[in-house]
Amino acid sequence: MHKRDLGCSGLYRISKVLITSASLEIKLANVINTLPALLPMRRGAIVVVGAEGEPETTATFGVEPPSSGARHIAAKAAIDRIVAKGAPLVVPDTCRSELFQDELQSIVSGTGLVTFIGVPMKADQETLGTLWIDRAKDGAATRTQFEEEVRFLSMVANLAARAVRLDGHESRDSRPIGEEGDRKISAGDKELPEPTRQRPTRIDWIVGESPALRQVVESVKVVAQTNSAVLLRGESGTGKEFFAKAIHELSPRRKKPFVKLNCAALSAGVLESELFGHEKGAFTGAISQRAGRFELADGGTLLLDEIGEISPAFQAKLLRVLQEGELERVGGTKTLKVDVRLICATNKDLETAVAEGEFRADLYYRINVVPLFLPPLRERNGDIPRLAKVFLDRFNRENNRNLEFTPAALEILSRCKFPGNVRELENCVRRTATLARSGTIVPSDFSCQNAQCFSSMLGKTADRPLGTHSLNGLTMSRRLPVESPVGLGYPNSPGDLTVAPNLTNRELLISAMEKAGWVQAKAARILGLTPRQVGYALRRHGIQVKKI
């Protein structure tokens, strides 16, 4: 690439990668995977080091993992020197350098000797890590060429370092579901360096004192100590992603990556590439090798949000990874082993999806090891005022305002059901604060007091949480019958079914069938299920259908 293109066009491409909303691990992986299109490199890596100088985050290109599966950092001695001196390092011939004597077999290319170029990642005069590349030695390479590449790589490394620094600030400052401030450390803990502190035992960044929330928080603390798969269930907006983050932060894996992916936003082909990675040339547009989310999360935690939306064809591929801990990149043949703690999240009724053949039963049992049901906001008595104040404080900081709620305004919020849960509450607070005409928010400032809030229409369907009542594991509404057969065109309609509170699932099914004249379609209408679900339940309970 021409020098001018390397400096302008190249930096533009790198900047586009770093300003996306992806996680830090994904950004760094995309940066290192973009460099082969800009430089004649064979391998490369971005290594972010911790307070003790040990690598915490690594994104690689062309670096093969050791066959033993043990953690290995390529060019470790060179990285240590770059971090210690805070200066670039160019080794024209690695075979003649003592820094590479321990890995000569892996670093010598198939065509000859190797040149190494590494630069420090600096932000505010602090070295946060290293960016390095290597390539087959070129006898025609000049000192000017090396200087140009070092200059370009240094700019890329400093952009990446700034992304690392910003990610650290965001992780401390983001309070998506009611973070009251940075994690509180006791006076005794302040005297200790980070590596000697004990694992946190509290989730201070989740606001709420309601019994429903406290029960989930206690479960999270227990679950976090194991490697068991967790299935977070609850309505949209209840904070599943941030409870997953809490599980990771309280676990022994907290120093490893926390990687997340929304499965609903991607097609099956893109989802496979995102999760498993791909080889160069695997498909149109695959200009370089790319690591998938499973590889990036190795040793840490992977969150698969909206797991219920993946296609049946991809479910089989995902199941193999979960069972064996092995995968192949798209277009590749080499099997890679990964050690990942899986957390899945969904607001879908997976039991019904399994019964209807939309979701594999074996995958359901694999991810549903420890289910955690997150309570909707309307069931978290007393938490709405606390959360509203947190969201208003955040709005004030971002907009240099000094608004506050009156007690009457908080009472209005407390009476709302918020079908969109915490996400809707935050939007309501921001909307009201934006339109407030004085420094105090009063009841008349709310849209619902001016007939301009339409979310109450959604609340009619919000009273049916997951798992309220089930017939042999098949979720159905607590309001029976959902729909009376009268007026639906059925002759001799059986009328409504009166449900006694002490009926068992089998008795409930028989009663509905008798009311429906042993017609499964009519019984399904009464129970609020599909005819297929009713047929499945009849077979499971061994009930013979009477012919009338």
- Which residues on neighbouring strands pair with residue 116, listed in sequence order? 91, 134
Q: Tokens for 521?
A: 């379609």
Within 8 A by CB and 6+ apart from 294, the residues are 275, 276, 277, 302, 321, 327, 338, 340
State residue 306's pLDDT score: 92
Q: Tell whether 327 is covered by a domain.
A: yes
CATH code of the domain in which 391 resides:
1.10.8.60
What beta strand segments (E) does 433-525 contain?
Answer: 440-441, 469-471, 474-476
In this structure, the answer to whether residues 473 and 357 fall within a common structural domain is no
Rg for the chain, CA atoms, rounded: 29
- Tell me which of 137, 170, 203 is where a domain ends: 170
H-helix segments, 374-416: 383-399, 407-414
Q: Tell whether 189 is covered by a domain.
A: no
Q: Tokens for 65?
A: 């993992």
State residue 429's pLDDT score: 95
Give yes or no for a contact between 230 and 372, defined as CB atoms under 8 angstroms apart: yes
Q: Tell whether 246 is covered by a domain.
A: yes
Q: Tokens for 183?
A: 């994690």
In this structure, the answer to whether residues 369 and 224 fall within a common structural domain is yes
Q: Tell whether 338 is covered by a domain.
A: yes
Euclidean distance between CA atoms 508 and 502, whole angstroms: 10
Positions of the chain with pLDDT under 50: 1-4, 68-70, 172-198, 201, 460-502
- Tell me which of 347, 373, 399 is where a domain ends: 373
Give yes or no for a contact between 156 and 17, defined as CB atoms under 8 angstroms apart: no
Q: Tell whether 509 is covered by a domain.
A: yes
Q: Tell whether 180 is covered by a domain.
A: no
State residue 458's pLDDT score: 59
CATH code of the domain in which 281 resides:
3.40.50.300
Q: Are strands 341-346 and 301-305 parallel, antiparallel or unpaired?
A: parallel
In this structure, the answer to whether residues 238 and 264 fall within a common structural domain is yes
The one-letter amino acid code at 147 reads E
Give yes or no for a contact between 319 and 366, defined as CB atoms under 8 angstroms apart: yes
The secondary element (H helix, E strand) that includes residue 31 is helix 24-34
Euclidean distance between CA atoms 540 and 521, whole angstroms: 17
The one-letter amino acid code at 474 reads L
Give yes or no for a contact between 237 and 420, defined as CB atoms under 8 angstroms apart: yes
If you write DSSP's letter for every residue of 311-329 in order, what string do you get?
Answer: -HHHHHHHHHHHHHSEE--
Q: Tell whether 202 is covered by a domain.
A: no
State residue 479's pLDDT score: 36
The secondary element (H helix, E strand) that includes residue 326 is strand 326-327
Q: Tokens for 105?
A: 């077999």
State residue 208's pLDDT score: 85
In this structure, the answer to whether residues 404 and 417 fall within a common structural domain is yes
Q: Tokens for 268?
A: 């099956």
CATH code of the domain in which 130 resides:
3.30.450.40
Cα 405 to its chain centre, rounded Å, is 33
In this structure, the answer to whether residues 396 and 489 fall within a common structural domain is no
In this structure, the answer to whether residues 145 and 25 fall within a common structural domain is yes
State residue 169's pLDDT score: 55
Q: How many angstroms separate the Cα of 501 from the Cα of each of 498, 504, 508, 528?
A: 10, 9, 10, 17
In this structure, the answer to whether residues 417 and 368 fall within a common structural domain is no
Q: How many angstroms separate the Cα of 197 from the Cα of each of 193, 201, 250, 438?
A: 7, 11, 13, 46
In this structure, the answer to whether residues 334 and 400 fall within a common structural domain is no
In this structure, the answer to whether residues 457 and 474 fall within a common structural domain is no
In this structure, the answer to whether residues 129 and 10 fall within a common structural domain is yes
Q: Tell whether 249 is covered by a domain.
A: yes
Q: How many angstroms separate the Cα of 215 from the Cα of each of 244, 360, 372, 373?
A: 15, 30, 10, 10
Euclidean distance between CA atoms 146 and 144, whole angstroms: 5
Closest CA to 275 of 290, 291, 262, 292: 292
DSSP label at residue 300? S
Euclidean distance between CA atoms 389 and 429, whole angstroms: 9
- Most distant CA pair in the chain, distance: 95
Q: Tokens for 133?
A: 């590349």
User: The domain containing residue 418 runs over which residues?
Assistant: 377-461
What is the pTM for the complete model shown?
Answer: 0.54
Could you give the number of structural domains in the chain? 4
Closest CA to 380 of 349, 337, 425: 425
In this structure, the answer to whether residues 226 and 361 fall within a common structural domain is yes
- Tell me which of 417, 434, 461 is where a domain ends: 461
Angle, helices 421-435 vs 383-399, to 10°: value is 50
In this structure, the answer to whether residues 429 and 479 fall within a common structural domain is no
